[in-house]
Amino acid sequence: MHHDDWMTAVIALAALNTVTLTLLVIVRTALQQALLDPLTGLPQRQLWTITAAARYRGMRHPAVLMIDVNHLKRVNDQLGHAYGDLLIRIIAHEILHIAGPNALVGRLGGDEFAALIDLAPEHRADLAAAAQGCIVSVDGIISSAEFGAAQLTDLETHPERHHEAGDDHHRRELSRLMRAADLALLRAKAVRRASPAPTSPALAFYRRSSDGEVPHNFNTLPHSALLRIVAPLLRIRPARPNRRTPATTRP
């Protein structure tokens, strides 16, 4: 092959690589826009559930948190949606701090968040204490969040982890934990409504005696091979609150 032919081949290969990288960037951007929450950078509901199901298998003490933000509508109505967006970003930042660096936090929609964490039994009280501090002030309006939490030890008297079980088994376990955490969240919200003082517990762990049973075959999680393939392409890096937007301070 002549020198000119080599140069032509090298130039063509470089151009192909450039096109390929450009297409990957375009695909990643499109996926991020479709599957990541634009306000917080957190996974939206479908991506969170698929990613949570994939991570769940390797956890020693998996716990699901279901979280509800207070007074978002009031902030939107009285201060405007820019302040409401800021409240969501600030609360997301607080949840990330409470859940820890290895947690999978997602925004399920509106004022709803979820987190999957590895929570050793001796740290349950620490989690409850941290959740108590999730209080912010947006231009004078105090907002907070309630947390419902659930682990297998809350669902079963003598739970056993089956790490080698199939995907259906782990999706079913995770789905049951999500349902149990949701029931606990309802109780936490009822307690806060009855006693809205800042000292009222912000987090409730699931209790069968008061929250009701969650059936063993309960499973609402989707199965998506496509999302499992594309999820690693996404760089899930939650956005930090923009302090240059309307001022938010702790009360």
Length of the chain as a residue count: 251
Both tokens assigned to 69: 């933000």
Q: Does the CA dihedral 93-223-162-55 come out positive or negative?
A: negative
Does the pLDDT at position 98 exceed 90?
Answer: yes
Q: Which residue do the tokens 């939490």 mark?
A: 149
pLDDT single digits (tens) 187-240: 999 988 887 676 677 999 999 999 998 887 777 766 655 555 555 655 544 434
Closest CA to 206 of 153, 129, 145, 154: 154
| Known active-site residue 111 | yes
Confidence of residue 4 (pLDDT cuts 50, 70, 90): low
How far apart (Å, rounded) are the C-alpha atoms in residues 166 and 145? 35
pLDDT at position 240 is: 44
pLDDT single digits (tens) 121-165: 999 999 999 999 899 999 999 999 999 999 999 998 666 666 556
pLDDT single digits (tens) 17-35: 665 656 555 555 545 555 7
Contact 215, 178 (CB under 8 A): no
Does the pLDDT at position 76 exceed 70?
Answer: yes
Catalytic residue, chosen from 68, 85, 111, 182, is 111
pLDDT at position 241 is: 43
Helical packing angle, 81-99 and 124-132, nearest 10°: 160
CA dihedral of residues 158, 162, 163, 168 (deg, nearest 10): -120
